[in-house]
Amino acid sequence: MGSTVNIKSRVFGPPSSTPCTRSHQIGALALIAVTFFATRLLDQSFPSSISSSSFFDGNGYESNIIRFSEDEGSVRWPRRGYGSYISLKIYIYDENEIDGLKQLLYGRDGTISADSCLKGQWGTQVKIHKLLLKSRFRTHKKAEADLFFIPSYVKCVRMMGGLNDKEINQTYVKVLSQMPYFRLSGGRNHIFVFPSGAGAHLFKSWATYINRSIILTPEGDRTDKRDTSAFNTWKDIIIPGNVDDGMTTHGVRLVEPLPLSKRKYLANYLGRAQGKLGRLQLIDLAKQFPHKLESPELKFSGPEKLGKADYFLHLRNAKFCLAPRGESSWTLRFYESFFVECVPVLLSDHAELPFQNVVDYSQVSIKWPSSRIGVQLLEYLESIPDKRIEEMIARGRKLRCLLVYGPDSEACSAFSGILWELQRKTRQFHQSSETFWLHNGSIVNRDLVEFYKWKPPMPLP
């Protein structure tokens, strides 16, 4: 009883002539609660000021957006939902650990090299794998891992004839059947990279086997030829496309940007028609207004083939770089535009962009309805004063470090951004249709066999 009196004295002050009843205590606690929530409400009503170093104009809360310092490459990730620092342990499956994994990396004969797969849009499969192998967040212990990475260069392997579609499907199923930790979580903590417009559809049976897994892909929409998209906004992550290393280097780039006053064209479109309506409309528009819109006929083979340097020399020669959809919604030109300092104009209605929950792309690019491609588009772009274009280019110059695949030692890189996003996906609790837990915390399967006794090959969904 004496201890209770002492506690009351410390909390509510010394006894007075008026006894402190339970009603007084409840009232005091209610007052504290009201004060707390009122303070929070006022804080949210007045967004904190955005420093001049931010490329945002102050319309959002400081805690909700990425902020950049004056020097390109220095970035502070917002704390909302991410935490104040990255705390991850990622296990990378070794190519010799799982039977069949080498085939997904180097083809059935093992003749396809990782270096040959660094080129083109599928290079992200190789880059992310190599960066994870050197990452400070890598762990060699499965039991302590938050996430598991399954390396595969399967897009490149398929393009180079190393595996056909049937072999890819069979090999993935074989690989997954040997992974107890995949079964433990139902695949929820396993990461796959699918770097092209086809996305996870490269694995024909993805919907059966990896529909719960985390998929890294530049493609958020793939319903143009299929009934369903493999991208899920809740669990998957949009990643930047693989821009040529010659343009993303910190040193001398393959092609340097031109001053705005020296650019010949208002806009350009560099790409094949592929029978797509939007692209055909742009090519036709360029024929009508050749002095405003450049759209050269690109040769992809033979003596007139456009080299890498020539391609970027064309791209940099306009104020606006038009990026229509092709076979799928995403387009590499959107990312390439930032490195020639040309304002990207997205003409793809369903495109998803990387890190878009913390980056305001309306400050660095334009998204125009694909149903309005025509003279109206050129008139709109022509009406934008050079001062506004310069401002957008300057903001994009700070943003583009997030589109470069550098090590996690660099605060601003595509890889660091992916790690931040992965941190939000981490779930510590193992739950799937095949895992059950007992009163002592042990995890068992349907036969009540404890997890550490599970033996591959594992059953699959």
State whether 388 and 290 are in the same domain: yes
Q: What share of the chain is helix, strand, coil (3-state, %, to 5)?
A: 40, 10, 50
Q: Is 444 part of a structural domain of the chain?
A: yes
| pLDDT of 211 | 93
For 352, what's the count of Cα atoms within 13 Å in the CB-facing half-sphere? 20
The values of phi and psi at residue 174, to 5°, are -65, -45
Clarify whether residues 197 and 298 are in a common domain: no
**Domain co-membership, 46 together with 117:** no
Whether residue 204 sits in one domain with residue 181: yes
Quick: pLDDT tens for 34-58. 555 554 443 333 333 223 333 443 4
pLDDT of residue 29: 63
Q: What is the CATH number of the domain that holds 313?
A: 3.40.50.2000
The pLDDT of residue 40: 46
Confirm whether 109 is domain-assigned.
yes
Is residue 38 included in any domain, yes or no?
yes
Residues 224, 279: one domain? no
On whether both 59 and 180 belong to a single domain, the answer is: no
pLDDT, tens digit, for every residue of 84-137? 889 999 999 999 999 999 999 999 999 999 999 998 788 999 999 999 999 999
Residue 418 lies in a domain: no
Query: Is 145 contained in some domain?
Result: yes
Whole-number mean pLDDT of the chain? 85
What per-residue confidence (pLDDT) applies to 69? 64
Q: Which residues of 95-106 are buried (b: 16+ CB within 10 A; e: fewer)?
A: eeebebbebbbb
In this predicted model, what pLDDT tens digit does every residue of 151-167 receive, in sequence order?
999 999 999 999 999 99
223 shares a domain with 146: yes
**Going by DSSP bridges, is the β-strand pair 343-347/366-367 parallel, antiparallel, or unpaired?**
parallel
- Low pLDDT (below 50) residues in the chain: 1-17, 39-62
pTM over 0.75: yes
Q: What is the enclosing helix (H) or strand (E) of 424?
A: helix 414-425
Q: What is the pLDDT of residue 2?
A: 44
Residue 298's pLDDT is: 73
Domains in the chain: how many in total? 3
- 76 belongs to a structural domain: no
**164 falls within a domain:** yes
Give the residue among 159, 181, 179 at the shortest CA–CA distance from 107: 159
Assess whether 433 and 369 both reside in one domain.
no
Per-residue pLDDT tens digits for 408-439: 998 889 999 999 999 988 877 778 888 999 99
Do 105 and 166 sit in the same domain of this protein?
A: yes
Q: How many residues does the chain have?
A: 461
Is residue 461 one of the residues assigned to a domain? no
Report the pLDDT value the prediction gives residue 73, as an integer from 0 to 100: 54
Residues 293 and 226 in one domain: no
pLDDT of residue 328: 83
Query: How far from the centroid of its chain's Cα atoms is residue 215's Cα?
Result: 10
Residues 142, 265, single domain; the answer is: no
Q: Which domain holds residue 33?
A: 16-69
Task: Specify whether 321 is located in the same domain as 379.
Answer: yes
